[in-house]
Structure 1
Amino acid sequence: MDITLEKASDTNASLKITLTPADYKPEVDKKLKDYGRKVQLKGFRPGHVPASLVQKMYGKSILVDEINAMLSKTVSDYIRENKLQVVGDPVPDRDSADAIDWDSQTDFAFSYTLGLASEFDIDFSDLPTVNQYEIQAGEAEVDTTIAELQERFHAHAHGEEVGEGDTIYGELKQISGGEFTAKTAFPMNQMAEEAKGQFVGKKKGDVVTFVLEQAFPDEKARANATGVKKEEAADLTGEFTFEIDDITRHEPAALNQEFFDKVLGVGAVENEEQFRTKVAEIIKSNYGRESEQLLRLDIEKMLIDNTPILLPDEFLKNWLMEVNEGKFTPEQIDEQYDDFTKSVKLQLIKNKIADKADIKVDFEEVLNATRQMVREQFGFAGSEDEEMNKTIDRIARNYLMDEKNNGQNYTSTFNRVFDDKVIGYAKTQLTTASQDITVDEFKALVENR
């Protein structure tokens, strides 16, 4: 076998492979013998079909399959062993391949066009500083968060007059076209705006006459208000009366020990000052995760912006057209090409960092990441329960080995672990500057990204 790489430029090359009988014949002969032992042909006992007949029937297809398999492995091995920065897939010269005479040729020559990325290196000491934002929760954010928590842990109260956000309980009676009656509740927030004025300000014992479909034009809301099935609610129309028996509303939870215990756990804090301090810490922690994500994006952008890499643009655009089989026009490829090249360059950079730092990902790391995903998805905290851990392990392994998606679960998890390790390493090599920032300023930064 003869393999030669001919570089036309920094980004374009051709890989030429020449095969002689010594390269493929031993494996082809072995497979022909296997066929001869297994093939069943009328007039011959199993395993006694003449070799010449087996050759005539199956020789060409076995030869083609074997050479194709050999070529695929040879190209992949050559690229890996020579650490070529190949982008896209090697494109075979189909004209020369179609001209092969499989019946008479014994030597075969194949050619592949390769798209290459130009040579580059990563020197962390030459890269600019990246900001790491420390989000500070001010009084306004703490006040807003506490108000939201008070609403979430609201108390129920009884009102004297109907308000827009109340729920009113009473007896509903049909006074035209039927005899429907029911004890029910009207959530005022589900009532049409133009009908609310008939109820707001009314008191217990008051009777309101109204048109049901005008108050609840949505059939789902009408079903909820009347207590019947949705399909039955469509037939409930016309004038009704509603006698108000009770009025309830949500009131924000009071800032007391009961509220503190509900939000943070029993005894976590003892007064409002401690509660506010704890809420501020939680806000900072929650935004800390978002800050880490922004830092990751900033590192990736900085690496792309400061690592000059040339790509074979014409080759890649043609390759994208071919692999997408007419799904995109050349104009659409041009529109999306910039984003595509950024992702290509970023992956090349990450691979270079991993190679220099000897970063690898093994199966146990992928499995551990999947176990953690299962714990988070199903709300399992860290546990010493052996049976629970066995269940988590089984779910994780089944997810990774799911044959229905052709190994995509394993591949996507592997890539996520790989990316995490590369970015984690980059953080230790780069210079980062801590910068305090308010929540609003941070939100603006995220929106601009």
Structure 2
Amino acid sequence: MEITLDKHAANQASVKIKLNEADYQPKVDAKLKDYAKKATIKGFRPGKAPVSMVKRMYGTSVLVDEINELLSSSLNNYLKEQTFKILGDPLPIFEDADKIDWKNQKEFEFQYKIGFVDDIEVNLDGNLEAVSYSVEMDGKEVDDAIQNMRSQYGKMTNPEISEENDFLYGDLKSADGSFEKTFSLPLSKVEPKSMNKFVGLKKGDVVEFDPTKVIKEDLASTIGVSEEEAEKLSGEFTFTVQNINRTELAELNQEFFDKLFGEGQVDSEEGLINRVKEIMAENYNKEIRIYSDEKIKEKLVANTNLDLPETFLKEWLLKANDGKVTKEQVEQEYPIYAKQLAWTLISNKIAKDNNIQAEHADVIEKTKEMIREQFASSGLGAQLEASMDMFVDNYLKGNEGQNYMQMLTSVQNDKVLAFVKEKADVKEEKISIEKFKELLEN
């Protein structure tokens, strides 16, 4: 057997494997003898058919199987010995596959494309600058959140006279009779300058208006029509009120506090404000930490200047997902894939160089945190903790063990990022919610 490597570029190459008869024939002969011992062939007692006959019947398929197995093991062993890091899987080159004479040929030659990166050098010697953000809560955001909660747990009523923020249920008709629709109109969607038309109404009252001028946003979804239909809703329409719906805000009492956070967890309006502020800050800061971490990853990738084999990887992605994605989809999604791959390579390199490992105990604890977050608003509390080991075990065993491996990788990434932050020049910055939203949008 002869294996040779031909580098076409800094990150792509081809591997050529030449096989002669001595490489594969002993295994083929042994397999055919084993077949002969077990084969049931008409005219012969079981296991008594001549090897020559078995060879004529099964020789070619056995030869192909043995050569494929030999190629796979030889190529994998050869690539493991190299200093570079293989990406994706080797891609066989099939240009001359139809010219192979499996019955008479004794020597064979096969080629594979490979993509790789050479040894990665990650420099963490104080050159990495990063910002760690934290969100400052303002009173308006907290007040709005509490109002939404009171509305969510409030009581629906049907008053006689309409007011702002009510819902008017009724019939919308065009003047020419070409359109008619019954729907619930939230007055919060009405333009302020037109609001006086809709306040003070009672059942049976009729309002005339142009929907395109009065409903300030989401006209199609508000009325419940398609975008094409909504474009035609200009001109004079009438709306006949069938009913008025209003949500009375839930009272700020112990019953309301217990519904939100569990029995006895909050016992005053001040406690409610503090708890809501705490939850909102935690949620905002979790998102901004993810944003900050992504920015650190981007800077590491940029500073490492990793040269990925783009042409090879696109071809490999297309073949690895044969029939599931198109060439156009691969082109579109490749930048995201390349970014994730580059970070994975860098993270693994940092972990290896600095002996950073994800321990089983870390995986268990991270899984517990995830489950607590998922059930945070359920109010289960002590019941959840009592069954936590069962939840963790079921999750980590799920998806044929892939959940455990994904959590293991996540833990290692967390540890790598923590290590990087210790080495980096990280500046702390407090930002408003408006600035937070602006950062995430960009």
- 8 Å CA contact 2:19–2:109 kept in 1: the answer is yes
Tell me the distance in 2 between the aligned counterparts of 1:96 and 1:50.
34
Partners in 1 of 2:32 and 2:85 — Cα distance?
38
Q: Which residue of the other structure, out of 274, 281, 289, is the alignment partner of 1:292? A: 289
Q: CA deviation digits over 1:212-247, x for unaligned, max 9?
A: xxxxxxxxx9xxxxxxxxxxxxxxxxxx998x9xx8
Deviation at 1:88, TM superposition (A): 3.9
SS of equivalent residue, structure 2 residue 128: coil
Contact in 2 for aligned 1:18/1:110 (Cα 8 Å): yes
Give 1:208 shift.
4.4
Q: Which runs of 5+ in 1 are unaligned?
A: 170-185, 211-220, 222-239, 402-409
Tell me how far 1:367 sits from its aligned partner. 8.2
In structure 1, what is the equivalent of residue 418 of structure 2?
427
The residue aligned with 2:135 is 135
Give the superposition deviation at 1:426: 2.4
Q: Quick one: distance in 2 between partners of 1:374 and 1:272?
A: 29
| Secondary structure, aligned partner of 2:307 | coil
Seen in structure 2, the aligned counterparts of structure 1 residues 30 and 151 have a Cα distance that, compared at 3 Å, is same
Q: Is the 8 A contact 1:165 1:187 kept in 2?
A: no
Describe the shift of the 1:104–1:369 C-alpha distance in structure 2 as closer, same or farther (beyond 3 A): farther
State whether structure 2 residue 433 is matched by structure 1 residue 439.
Answer: yes
Displacement of 1:284 in angstroms is: 1.0
Q: Where does 1:323-334 land on structure 2 (aligned, <5 Å)? A: 328=326
Q: Distance in 1 between matches of 2:382 and 2:107?
A: 63
Q: What is the Cα-based RMSD across aligned positions, in Å?
A: 4.4
One-letter amino acid of the structure 1 residue matched with residue 436 of structure 2: F
Question: 5 Å matches for 1:200-211?
Answer: 201-202=201-202, 208=204
Give the distance between the partners of 1:209 and 1:282, measured in 2 at CA.
44
Aligned pair in 2 of structure 1 residues 385, 317: CA closer, same or farther (>3 Å)? closer
> Cα distance, 1:47 vs. partner?
0.8
Equivalent residue number for residue 414 of structure 1: 405
Aligned to 1:351: 348
Cα distance in 2 for partners of 1:273, 1:341 equals: 49
Q: What is residue 102 of structure 2 aligned with on the other side? A: 102
Counterpart of 1:302 in structure 2 is 299
User: Is the partner of 1:121 in helix, strand or coil?
Assistant: coil
Q: Secondary structure at the match of 1:250?
A: strand
Worse-matched range after superposition: 288-297 or 37-46? 288-297
Q: Residues 360 and 418 of structure 1 are in contact (CA less than 8 Å); yes or no, is this contact kept in structure 2?
A: no
Compared CA separation, residues 68 and 364, structure 1 to 2 (3 A):
farther
Distance 1:343 1:201 in 2: 57
The equivalent residue for 1:400 is 399
- Per-residue displacement from partner, 1:152-187 (whole Å, max 9, x unpaired)? 232566856354766899xxxxxxxxxxxxxxxx97
Which residue matches 1:28?
Answer: 28
Letter in 2 for 1:102: W
| Alignment-mate amino acid for residue 285 of structure 1 | E
The structural deviation recorded for 1:442 is 0.9
Q: Which stretch has the larger CA shift, 319-328 or 254-263?
A: 319-328
* Structure 1 residue 103, shift from structure 2 partner: 2.4
- 1:252 is matched by which residue type in structure 2? L
- The question of whether the paired residues in 2 share the 8 Å contact of 1:153 and 1:253 is answered with yes
Going from structure 1 to structure 2, the CA distance change for 1:12 and 1:257 (only over 3 Å counts) comes to closer
Instruction: Write out per-residue CA displacement over residues 263-322 of structure 1, whole angstroms, 9 at most, x where no aligned residue.
Output: 344444454334323322121112122123213312221221111122334444555565
Provide the rounded CA distance (Å) in 2 between the counterparts of 1:198 and 1:342. Answer: 53
Q: Using a 3 Å threshold, how does the CA distance of structure 1 residues 126 and 166 change in structure 2: closer, same or farther? A: closer
**Counterpart check, 1:113 vs 2:113:** yes
What amino acid sits opposite 1:427 in the alignment?
A
Q: Deviations over 1:56-81 (max 9, x none)?
A: 11112111111112212222233234
Deviation at 1:422, TM superposition (A): 2.2
AA in 2 matched with 1:293: I
Alignment of 1:333-344 (within 5 A): 336-344=333-341
Q: Secondary structure at the match of 1:435?
A: strand
Quote the offset at 1:260 in angstroms. Answer: 3.8
Matched positions, count: 388
> What amino acid sits opposite 1:67 in the alignment?
I
Where does structure 2 lack aligned partners over 5 or more consecutive residues?
170-182, 207-222, 224-239
1:68 and 2:68 aligned? yes
Q: CA deviation at 1:188?
A: 7.4
Give the drift of 1:369. Answer: 6.8
